[in-house]
Amino acid sequence: MNGSDRGLHSRRPTIGVFDSGFGGLTVLKALLEVITGADYTYFGDTARLPYGSKSVETVARYAIEAAHYLESHGAQMLVIACNTATALALDQMTAAAHVPVIGVVEPGAEAAASATKNQKIVVIGTEATVSSHAYRKALESRQLQAREKACPLLVPLVEEGWVEHSITEQVARIYLAEAFADGFHDADTLVLGCTHYPLLKPLLHRVTPGNVSIVDSAESTAHAGASRLRQLVPAIADGEERRSVPRFKFFATDSTEKFRRLGERFLGHPIDNVEHVDLKE
Amino acid sequence: MNGSDRGLHSRRPTIGVFDSGFGGLTVLKALLEVITGADYTYFGDTARLPYGSKSVETVARYAIEAAHYLESHGAQMLVIACNTATALALDQMTAAAHVPVIGVVEPGAEAAASATKNQKIVVIGTEATVSSHAYRKALESRQLQAREKACPLLVPLVEEGWVEHSITEQVARIYLAEAFADGFHDADTLVLGCTHYPLLKPLLHRVTPGNVSIVDSAESTAHAGASRLRQLVPAIADGEERRSVPRFKFFATDSTEKFRRLGERFLGHPIDNVEHVDLKE
């Protein structure tokens, strides 16, 4: 056993999930469906969100602080449930952490590779995720062609609660028409490269051609997390884990009341215990 | 002379302008039109924007840091060019600063009082500004009736550059229909309680009834700043100030390149010298 998996064999593992805000709760929701034998600690950096419009230096600094916080609260594996933080700072977080770190980009690219028939992929995400070209690099390394498209209005539309609104549908049509154009008019796979977007899946299905597969990074990441955890804790794979209800801890850097209220929309069930974290600054 | 105006008589004054990002540049633009005898230092907390969705504690902490930063860089008067920071933290900033502090809410309320004929005012702003009810309090203390309406999508629409887009017009119509309803269907004054909104003035004129006056807090605040400065530096009022070109310093906590690029849209002229600030955190 090395330093990276200390304690994993001796007790029920704790998975640390990190996001800039609430969106990562869609990843936590997906994790709950595939890893029942763990407890979860979620860190939402809501005082400094959104990361999607910020620079790589700033996002990396914030992400490393979050990794240290989660480790100091017992996380034995970290899931970066934030596309921007993964795209801009996965390497720095992996270097800074003492436990395994799973990001959302590689699992998303892997799922796209499985889904596509013509090797043409459209990825939608925040401005920062798209500027980093993390998805394009991950897809091209799998011999896939990638078109990345920043959709900065979709996050605020989701946060406004307009997930089935005609305005959101028009905005999505504008963005997707620009993405599915020229050499990518026949792309057959759409990767949701932002954790807010799974809430728009029904709407996005309506505004994309019928043959387009939609890849939800949240689901892919949950499966990647489960695989990694099985390597570290064979009991999970052997079905020996206690299938009791997972314990949760939620930490937020801004208002805990707002985290509870908005977060329930993303997680799909009530959130009870949110603690406020005051990062030194 | 007290500690609040030290140095103001001895040399050309420096006005510190603070905002969470770029929006406050609309206030700086307005200041330049009414105060030519000063130099300007602008602090945009772009690494932590937007403030509009954050809690009072978080915004107050950020705003006080910004006040100290501007003072340490020679500002002899502070203009809080951010409605959210004014609404949530004007008192704390005034207590923490050693120089006069001007916010945007009181000047906006005063201008609305002058503009209205039927004492019914609609204020639009961010979620945090509206939740604070700072405008309602300022208007009600002037015997005016106030309806406040949060318009969280307008900032991202402006930042997307869609200031004349049909989507933005539809969104504005939805928000304003909810605001100009019931007892306020005949309100005759609309206060733009967010520094991004002046860029939408032509569009907002189209979607409000013809008799509605639009009050731009940026302009009102510039006039309030000029009055205060004249009290402190009589030469400004006496026309004795040197009418040379103001010197500017811009500080941003996130990418300086993005500040330059987006900021020019708000300021209306080129931005040359942006310095990155790394607030300890």
E runs forming strands in chain A: 14-19, 39-44, 77-80, 101-102, 120-125, 145-150, 189-193, 213-216, 248-252, 274-276
Q: Establish whether B82 is a catalytic residue.
A: yes
Q: Residue B253: list chain A partners with CB under 8 A.
A: 58
Spatial CB neighbours of B199, under 8 Å, sequence gap ≥ 6:
B26, B158, B163, B265, B266
Is the CB of residue A159 less than 8 Å away from at least one CB of chain B?
yes
Identify which of B131, B153, B145, B144 has the alpha carbon closest to the alpha carbon of residue B83.
Answer: B131
CB-defined contacts A:B, below 8 A: 67
- List the Cα angle A89/A94/A100 in 5-degree steps: 135
Chain segment A56-74, per-residue pLDDT in tens? 999 999 999 999 999 999 9
- Given a contact cutoff of 8 angstroms between Cβ atoms, the answer to whether B251 and B60 are in contact is no
- Give the model's pLDDT for residue A158: 94
Q: In degrees rounded to 5, what are phi and psi of residue A36?
A: -90, -15
- Give the model's pLDDT for residue B73: 95
- Give the model's pLDDT for residue A10: 46
Start-to-end C-alpha separation, chain A: 36
Query: What is the ipTM for the molecules in this complex?
Result: 0.86
- Given a contact cutoff of 8 angstroms between Cβ atoms, the answer to whether B249 and B42 are in contact is yes
Tell me the mean pLDDT in the region A99-108: 97
Q: Which of residues B50 and A1 earns the better pLDDT score? A: B50
Asked if pLDDT for residue A5 goes beyond 70, the answer is no
The model's pTM: 0.88
Is the CB of residue B95 less than 8 Å away from at least one CB of chain A?
no
- Give the model's pLDDT for residue A246: 87
Tell me the mean pLDDT in the region A100-123: 97
- Give the model's pLDDT for residue A178: 97
Q: Which of residues A225 and A278 earns the better pLDDT score? A: A225
Asked if pLDDT for residue B12 goes beyond 60, the answer is yes
> Of the listed B27, B35, B78, B82, which one is catalytic?
B82
Q: Please name the amino acid found at residue B169.
A: E
Chain segment B108-136, per-residue pLDDT in tens? 999 999 999 999 999 999 998 999 999 99
Chain segment B189-240, per-residue pLDDT in tens? 999 999 999 999 999 999 999 999 999 989 999 999 999 998 888 765 445 4
- Give the model's pLDDT for residue A53: 82
Interface test with B, best of A171, A178, A256, A278 (most B CBs within 10 A): A171
Q: In degrees rounded to 5, what are phi and psi of residue A174?
A: -65, -50
Asked if pLDDT for residue A132 goes beyond 90, the answer is yes
- Give the model's pLDDT for residue B2: 41
Distance between CA atoms of residues B267 and B262, nearest Å: 9
Q: Residue A68: list chain B partners with CB under 8 A.
A: none
Least confident of A185-189, B4-8, B64-68: B4-8
Contact criterion met (CB < 8 Å) for A160 and B152? yes
E runs forming strands in chain B: 14-19, 39-44, 77-80, 101-102, 120-125, 145-150, 189-193, 213-216, 248-252, 274-276
Start-to-end C-alpha separation, chain B: 36
